[in-house]
Structure 1
Amino acid sequence: MVREWKRIFSIPNFYVVLLVIPPIIFLFYGFIYQKQFARELPMAVWDEDGSSVSRTLTDMMEQNENIHFTHVVFSNAEIEKLMKEGKIFGAVHFPKNMESDAKKNHQSNITLYTNGAYLVPAKMIYKGAAEIIIKGGLAVVLQKAEKQGMPADQANTLVQPIKLNTTVLYNPEFNYQMYLTPGLVTVGLQMALIVASVLILNLEFRRNTIDGLLKISTSSSQIIIGKMLAHLCIAWLLFILISFVVFPVFDLGKPQTDFSFFILYTLLALACIGIGMMLSAISDNLLFVVDVALFFTSPAFVFSGFTFPRWAMPWYDQIYAEIMPYTHFLDGFIKLYFMELPIRYAYPEMVRLLIFIGITFPVAIVVFQKKINQYLKNIQQ
């Protein structure tokens, strides 16, 4: 274990991947979403009605934190042009005679344009604008009812007999930093741990240091356990960096979840180290195992279900997601960190991570012992 520590701090392949790149990436991810919210998205207004109703609705939308009118347009072509140029994310069109049609009990259609190429801004604009337009329509009906002598309470009940109250839990403000930064940081950790771990065993042969290793022990189980403990200690250093530096700096710290997060994180680290050491034991081709590690870990964020539910993916993608430890870590992480549930709620995910550990390390021990035996046999000959 001590020997492996010395290697980690002296060989660039290790200390760059484990100690230099992760802190930079963690801070980089945090600063990307430092603004936390996507507010005041630029929009255009096309007002053919020019009435007090259209102006009132425009003013109401301007007061919404998601919307900011930056352009006045006079045609559909102008809206498309501004969207293509990236100057607006949406637009609203008030048709001619909108106010007069409303007074005559005729339906009037307001058109809301959103740019579906930018999915999140489009949803935020729709949410903000649709809410105001619906309220505006209800206000017109309410005003008519009151003018006809109907009491205000009765008019309110008539206009909106069923009222919807919404409660958003765990990230009620839709904070990008709270949502994305922890996920990106932890998926970056998986990648760093696996990429470093695939070098642990085959680098001994590549750097011709295997003889020094075998003077300490010829038992693959002792070698793998010692190296695993050294890399686990480095993983714990990264945990300290995340929980007590990165998260507090970006106001993401949740001290009440630190212990359960640490337990789940340790299982993720062991699963990642186990996968890497298994690959390192199987193949002596350094470039090949690094390529496999990158291919295996790079799509983890997408397949984990963090941005798109796994149940909606094709069955073969779901299978691919299941063979990545980050998928199960994320399920448990959402429960323990975001929802702040007791650790028992993450037992199923912890068991799955233990399965990774229980398979990969024994395979690595058996395969590497065969390599040691063959190497010693060749030396004796």
Structure 2
Amino acid sequence: MNSVFSFARLGALLIKEFIQMRRDRITFAMMLGVPLLQLVLFGFAINNDPKSLPTALVAISNDQYTRAMASALQMTGYYHFDFVAQSAAEAEELMAKGAVSFVVTIPADFARRVERGDNPQILIEADATDPSAASGAVSTLSKVASQALLRAQGMQAAAAESARGQLQVVVHQRYNPEGISQYNIVPGLLGVILQMTMVMMTAMALTRETERGTMENLLAMPSSPAEIMLGKVLPFLVVGAVQVAVVLTAAKLLFSIPFVGSLTLLLSAVLVFVLALVLLGYTISTMAGSQMQAMQLTFFFFLPSLLLSGFMFPYRGMPGWAQVLGEIFPLTHFLRVTRAVMLKGADFHAIGAEVGWLVLFVGVFAGTALLRFRRTLD
């Protein structure tokens, strides 16, 4: 063995490693793609102070003071009146479905009480299932609304203290009155934990069969591709059921997370979500040649899913293009289901659209996995 250090041998080894790196396209794509993806998402898509939040207006009268209030709130940039509800019940349904973040109620006698100087009130109901998304909008309410009322009365915008004394802004933090962050995070963790484990475990289980050479024995069995796929997928549904039981029990006992809705409805949605995840993992396994590649592809899916789903950052704080991208991840829709059922007590009518998306993901992933597995057999 030659103990003398040789730059020529070192150069040959470096060339060999670069050639090997170039051949491993997935690793090469990860080295370039992940930093670029993080830069774009954190630089452009993440915003902790969301603006133009969808708002419903409940106002019986259309007088100048009502219009002044609505205009002033929209001018703050936080509120965008997408709906004009005819009743409080209609506004309640919109908030339960997650269609609006705020409901602004201006009573029918608002103008009369303003003209009499009889302490007029407006009611702002905020969806506090995500406290960070509503905090900025709520903090601007009192001063903006009071000064808008003074302008509508033809008065100069006096000092803020004087303005606040003439108008009472009543704020109700719905579903999470104390603004406890765990109420938002823990229900979301149910989806995140399931996604991290189900996708990776399924993807690695099949690539492990290929690496160990046992896939040939599996293919030699008199079974159809659909039977093989179901045989590999169904055991992970049992694992997912155990994880769901652990997370829900811990949420209640350790964090005292309220559970207002139907457990049966939530478990039904969980079943569809887990099925979509294991089928996604199965699809990834047909693309990966090794367990390492399966882990890399899984991570490449995890990162944008966590950032764009609304788990870590307010979903409505992201720009439009980021929200569109977020819709293609099952986690985005499952988070809406868990928070709606657990915190709002939503029924199937309120979450039906999100469950429909999950069912669509199941169909797409199952078809893709089956098609790619047939090609593997060929």
Per the normalisation by structure 2, the TM-score is 0.54
- How much does 1:173 deviate? 0.5
Q: What SS does the aligned partner of 2:166 have? A: coil
Q: 1:179 is matched with which residue?
A: 184
Q: 2:122 is matched with which residue?
A: none
- How much does 1:194 deviate? 1.0
Matched, 1:260 2:265: yes
- How much does 1:232 deviate? 0.8
Q: 1:357 is matched with which residue?
A: 362
- How much does 1:244 deviate? 2.9
Backbone CA RMSD of aligned residues: 3.4
Matches within 5 A, 1:188-267: 188-252=193-257, 254=259, 256-267=261-272
- How much does 1:200 deviate? 3.0
Q: 2:339 is matched with which residue?
A: 334
**Structure 2 CA distance for aligned equivalents of residues 313 and 177 of structure 1:** 22
Q: 1:279 is matched with which residue?
A: 284
Matched, 1:291 2:290: no
**Structure 1 CA distance for aligned equivalents of residues 135 and 223 of structure 2:** 61
Determine if contact 2:188/2:339 at 8 Å carries over to the other structure. no
Tell me, which stretches of 5 or more residues in structure 2 are unaligned? Answer: 1-130, 143-160
Q: What SS does the aligned partner of 1:260 have? A: helix
* Change over 3 Å in CA distance of 1:181–1:363 after alignment to 2: same
Q: 2:67 is matched with which residue?
A: none
Determine if contact 1:220/1:366 at 8 Å carries over to the other structure. no
The percentage of counterpart residues that share the same residue type is 23
Q: 1:371 is matched with which residue?
A: 376
**Structure 1 CA distance for aligned equivalents of residues 254 and 284 of structure 2:** 36
Q: What SS does the aligned partner of 2:346 have? A: coil
- How much does 1:252 deviate? 1.8
Matches within 5 A, 1:86-125: none
Q: 2:172 is matched with which residue?
A: 167
**Structure 2 CA distance for aligned equivalents of residues 158 and 251 of structure 1:** 40
Q: What SS does the aligned partner of 1:354 have? A: helix
- How much does 1:261 deviate? 1.3
Q: How many pairs does the alignment contain? A: 231
* Change over 3 Å in CA distance of 1:188–1:158 after alignment to 2: closer
Q: What SS does the aligned partner of 1:254 have? A: coil
Please list the CA deviations of residues 63-96 of structure 1 after superposition, one character each: whole Å capped at 9, or x if unmatched. Answer: xxxxxxxxxxxxxxxxxxxxxxxxxxxxxxxxxx
Q: Which moved more, 1:295-304 or 1:269-278?
A: 295-304
Q: What SS does the aligned partner of 2:172 have? A: coil
Determine if contact 1:283/1:289 at 8 Å carries over to the other structure. yes
Determine if contact 1:191/1:298 at 8 Å carries over to the other structure. no
**Structure 1 CA distance for aligned equivalents of residues 339 and 260 of structure 2:** 15
* Change over 3 Å in CA distance of 1:339–1:189 after alignment to 2: same
**Structure 2 CA distance for aligned equivalents of residues 281 and 231 of structure 1:** 17
- How much does 1:234 deviate? 1.0
- How much does 1:256 deviate? 4.2
- How much does 1:195 deviate? 1.2
Determine if contact 1:221/1:365 at 8 Å carries over to the other structure. yes
- How much does 1:309 deviate? 4.1
Q: 1:303 is matched with which residue?
A: 308
Determine if contact 1:274/1:356 at 8 Å carries over to the other structure. no
Please list the CA deviations of residues 231-280 of structure 1 after superposition, one character each: whole Å capped at 9, or x if unmatched. Answer: 11111111111223443332225274321111111111111111111111
- How much does 1:299 deviate? 3.6
**Structure 1 CA distance for aligned equivalents of residues 374 and 339 of structure 2:** 39
* Change over 3 Å in CA distance of 1:283–1:217 after alignment to 2: farther
- How much does 1:321 deviate? 1.1
Amino acid at match of 1:348: A
* Change over 3 Å in CA distance of 1:209–1:323 after alignment to 2: same
Amino acid at match of 1:196: M
Amino acid at match of 1:352: W
**Structure 1 CA distance for aligned equivalents of residues 233 and 289 of structure 2:** 19
- How much does 1:158 deviate? 9.4
Q: 1:108 is matched with which residue?
A: none
Determine if contact 1:217/1:223 at 8 Å carries over to the other structure. no
- How much does 1:341 deviate? 1.0
**Structure 2 CA distance for aligned equivalents of residues 160 and 198 of structure 1:** 62
Q: What SS does the aligned partner of 2:173 have? A: coil
Q: Which moved more, 1:340-349 or 1:290-299?
A: 290-299
Determine if contact 2:259/2:343 at 8 Å carries over to the other structure. no
**Structure 2 CA distance for aligned equivalents of residues 236 and 158 of structure 1:** 55
**Structure 1 CA distance for aligned equivalents of residues 350 and 135 of structure 2:** 32
**Structure 2 CA distance for aligned equivalents of residues 185 and 365 of structure 1:** 28
* Change over 3 Å in CA distance of 1:288–1:332 after alignment to 2: same
Q: 2:112 is matched with which residue?
A: none
